Structures are given as structure tokens and as C-alpha cells.
Structure 1
């Protein structure tokens, strides 16, 4: 269904509309363009959830073993805070929602908990075993990989092991027996952390490259397809123009009565109208399906925007539907009038009014406050008004009214249904 008219859309028009919705690399980023990147983020979140859950269970078992030997309320609170944030991150990774927020929250909470570890434990203890919080160091790095930019991820991969090493040495009172094991743990954790960050960066870069390559391929294909279609249309139009001009010349040569001369004039106008349409945009040629007034207003506003004109398109009356051929003629004729106002009147006082008359017709008024012109003084070889406006509107049973004085120019394009 057409969004403007509510009528069925032909198959070719529907296909063209579908191709028009395919994004290109120069367009704003869309869900289509980020398809592979989103899939990769989903995969990373699932894998991170699985690995973090395994390490989390290992750390929880170690924590439970430590609690059996007695633990203060502060230690239990620390354990609950860390694991509640970890559980929230795991759930968000599985559901695929709020991953960055939950992962970032856990990364920050874990860093604070790790830094506070010497305060909530007995500093200077003789325990040579690794505390439960150590098993979550790389989980903190994984959380940073899911939540933060690359530079912050690298900072986390380096900073968390160093914080753990310092905390561990403080816990052991900086005794010599702690230095060797702590140095080994810290170096191993740093290497593993950077491997995690590197893998995440590599997979994301590959996904972005795939999205970019696909977008470029689609844009290239659509450009080539559009070029081929335009070339075919130009060939067909050239053949049609040859037949139209030749027929008009033959009719003019053989005209021996008023009726024959009128027919020759009409044929010449039709040929000029087609020529003017060809000089416009080939893509604007299409079916004669009814078109809404809103679409005409949108086209005129785009014409003003393309010209850089500081003017508005005012809507009046009741919106309706008019045949596509008449709508295109009105738009192209109005574009010509707008171009003339900008070129010859510098766009002074330029104003466009679209007066809808329901299904009975449409009137478009283009006015400016330039110096005006004398229509009779325009050379016969100048087709801007005669062909692009008058002949074009006449070809669809429309009319053009031009009133130009020293105070400005007033042009009315009218089309009424039969």
C-alpha cells in the first residue's frame, strides 16, 4: 500500500521502494548496517557470561571455605555486594539487555572491593592461599571489555592485577615469601587480561569490517543498477523523442487547415514537454497512480532546500489525490518557476502556496518581489517558461497564469479534474 495514497503499489514501484530503504555507507548508521557488529556483541556477551560464571563459582567455593573459619559482617557484606553485581552482569549477558551498564557496574564495584580488601581482612595474616577475590580479577577485565572503550579496557587489564598484587603484599605484610607467588600471579593475570582485550578488539574489528564491506557492496550494486535503469530509460526516451519530433515536423509540414495546424502545435508542445521532463530527473517518470498533496508539498520543499532558498511552502485548502502525471507536471513546472525566481529575482520575497481543492484539483502559487519581466519580450528559443511551464501544464490539461510587474512576479499553476 502506498503511504501517501493508501492505494496498492505496483510490483516495480514496491521493489524500487525496497531498494531505496537499503542503507549506504554514507548514510546514518542503521540497524541493518550494524547487523554483524550486534551479532558479535551478542556472542561476546554469551561467552563472557559462561566464563565468568565458571570463575564465579570457583571463587564462591573458595569464599565459602573461608567463611567456615569465621568471617566478620563486613566480609560477608563485601561478598554479597560483589556477587550481586556479578549475578546482574551474568543475567544481562544472557538476556542481551543492559550489558554495558551491568558490566560497567560490576567492573567498578569489583575494583573498589579489591582496593578495600586489606581493610575488611586482617592485614599481616599468615595465609599463603589465594583469597577468593583473586579468582575474579579476569572477570573484572571481561566486564571492562564489555562495557568500556578500548583504552579503558587496556587500563583495566593492567591496573586490576597491579591492584591485586599490592593488596596481596599488604595482606602479607610485604614479607619475602609473598613476593614470588604474587609476582607470578600478577604477571599471569596481566597476560591473560590483555589476551581477553585483544580478542574482543579483534572480533569487533572483523565485525565492523564485514558490515562496512556489505554496505559498500550493496551501495555499489544499487548504484550500478540505477545507472543501467537510467541508461535504458534514456535510450527509450531518445527513441520516443525521435518519433515525437519527427511526427510533429511531418504534421507541421502537411498542415493545410486550422485544425491540422492546431494538431501540429499540440504535437510540438507534447514533444517539448517530454524533452523538458527528460532534462529533469528520469527517475521522476513513473506511473499515473494517484498522488497525495502532501507528497507534492514535500517535493517543493526539497526543491527549495536544494536551491538553498530561504522560503517556505504554505499549505492551504483540503488535501486530495491527483493523477501521478499531473502531479509530476505541477512539481516540475513549480521547480522551474522557483529556479527562475532564484536566478532572476535573487529569491527576494519568494513564497510558495499549495492550495488543495480535495479531489477536484490543485493550485500552486509561486510569487516573488523581484524586478519582474516582460513575457512577450522573451525570445522564442527560451523554453524555460513556454516548454517547462506552459507546455508541460497544457500537456496534462492544466493552466499557467503569469502576472509580472516591476513589483514582482505572480505565477499560478492550476489543474482541475475533468
Structure 2
């Protein structure tokens, strides 16, 4: 327990179940373990997939829907957030998503309390040239000026937030973490065949899984290109893509349909399967032979989806978009390839698919040990709480 129990207020524009929301929940659990109160001010619930808000309720957090977080330029949003923080007795406001950081740090300044930002991802400002530039300028003038502490998931993210004007002394690098599920025995062949059959997959082919929302960031189009340019790979390997999408600006809204069109046009309908959002990802991973993550950009060097695959003992391929992970040994713990390169993805997919069963098991076992030893969520979340408490000490 800390010497003084207090309250904190989180802003979370996207209360879905993806990485940023999951980390906000884990950090909130750590605050609650130490006797602190948590208020979550969140944006509209996702229409087509489960929300993380019930999980916040389960840990005793107060949750408030604030639809204006989807429109952060709303003139009364900052004053209302500041007022809510005062009424809750909040000692800090913690902005989680990129889009809600501006009102979060401005509200903290108005309430005269620390402004903490969880910098979970590399920054991208969507919109045409003029809109994108305006967002960038507004971000620099607010986040760069008013941030008390920026908790960054990698050195790449830290260097970017420093370029936006946050002093280096106000930043810290803290990777994401997970709570690995207990080790489970391999699926027996009959159960694996049954599960793969339910997913429309063939147990006679090597099965890769990729988990992530259908968004340009995640690079699923690069995976499609990797298979399209390598017919021999497409004949003996299948790819199962788990995730939903279709939110955001016009490009992102139509992205899932564009991906499906790419698969059809490339004649890969029997090679690449879209499974949608699923609540049984652990079972899907258990049935798979390998994992691949083709993101163009991320915040952490090891995104949560990659950590979960590694913890499950799968040989894993991911991109170098956020730099090499600490403690990771290339070729032993997994394979890291150049971001944005379908050819590199194709070569890595072929390399893993050609491994012997013993070599794949050895790589998966090393990956699982790496995650369990260095990325335990309780330790990381407790460190986050200590950092925030330090801002109000």
C-alpha cells in the first residue's frame, strides 16, 4: 500500500478490448490493489464488439460515458473533465488514447493536478494534409506543453513524444505486459482437427494466426501480398486473421472490405480466412502452428497480441516497427522482419513453416519463458502506479 490513498481519473476514447484499453485496465487494477479510487471517463461503446467497460466496473471503478471524447474539440469538454476530476478528488488525470490526450492534459492543467499520458502507440494524425497538420500543431501545443509525465512503451515512442515537445526528463519507458495463462497441454489431434474445421481451416496445412483489428496499421494487406507473390507458400500454408474493424475515417471504415477484395482478387480464398472478433483467441492460438504480426507501426516493440502468442508457445514473426525488444534473441526467441516488406514476411513465413517440430517447439518454449520472466503485468502495472504517485508526492 502507498502511504496515501487517492483517486485518479482515466480518459479512454475507445473502450474496446484492444491493447491500449487492456493496459489501462491492468494499471487501474494496480491502483485499486493499493487502495486508490479509479474513475474511467470513456467514449461511446464499440457497436460490433465487446467493450472493456464491464471489466472496469468489476474492479470497483466508477465509469462515465462521455460521447464528446469522440469529438475532442468540443468547447465544454475540458471544463467538464476538470470539474469531474475535482468532484472525484482526483490527484491526476491519465490520458490513454491519442485522441483524448489533448482534453485530458488541458483538463488536468485547469484542475491544477498532474497530467499523465500513456503513450501506447506511435503517433499518426489521420485526415487530409491540412487537417493532419492542424492536429499535429494542436498536439504539440497542448501535450508538449502541459504533460507532467509521459509513460512510453518503447524508445521509439519516447523519441517521438520528445520531438512533440515533452521534455526528456518527463518521459519514462515502460513496456507493456500480460498475465500469461497457465500452461496448457497440446491439443489432442482430434480436438485440434475439430477446432480447425470449425474455423474453416485445414489441419493438413501449416496454420498461422494473426490477431489485430482490420486497420492499415496492422499490415494485413502486406501479408496478403506475401502470399500472393509466393504461390508455393500459399499452397501449403493457411492464415487465420482474427479481428474486427471498420471504424474511423473513410479509409479505415472501408479497409475490411478492401482486404477481403484483395484476397478474392489474388485467388487466396482457401488460404486466408477472416475469423472476425473472437472471445476464444487462446483456443485459436492453441490450434495454430505459428503466429505472424505484420504491423506497419506499433508502440511497444512487443505488442500484446505478440506477447500472448509467444506466451502460448508459438514460433512468432513480428516486424521491427518499434525496434528490437529487450532480452529478445533473433532466430531463437522468434523472427523479426523489416516493417512494410511483403518479401521479408514471405521468407519468414516459409522459414517457420519449414522448421522441424522440435525446432518450432524449442523456439516457442524460449518465447514463452521470455514473456513470463520479463513481461509480468503485475510488476509493470505496479511500476506505473509508483510513477504516477510520484507526480503528486
TM-score range, shorter chain: under 0.3
Larger radius of gyration: 1
Which of the two has greater strand per residue?
A: 2
TM-score for both structures, normalised by structure 1:
0.21
Kindly indicate whether structure 1 or structure 2 has the higher relative contact order, using CA contacts under 8 Å at least 6 residues apart: 2
TM-score for both structures, normalised by structure 2:
0.22
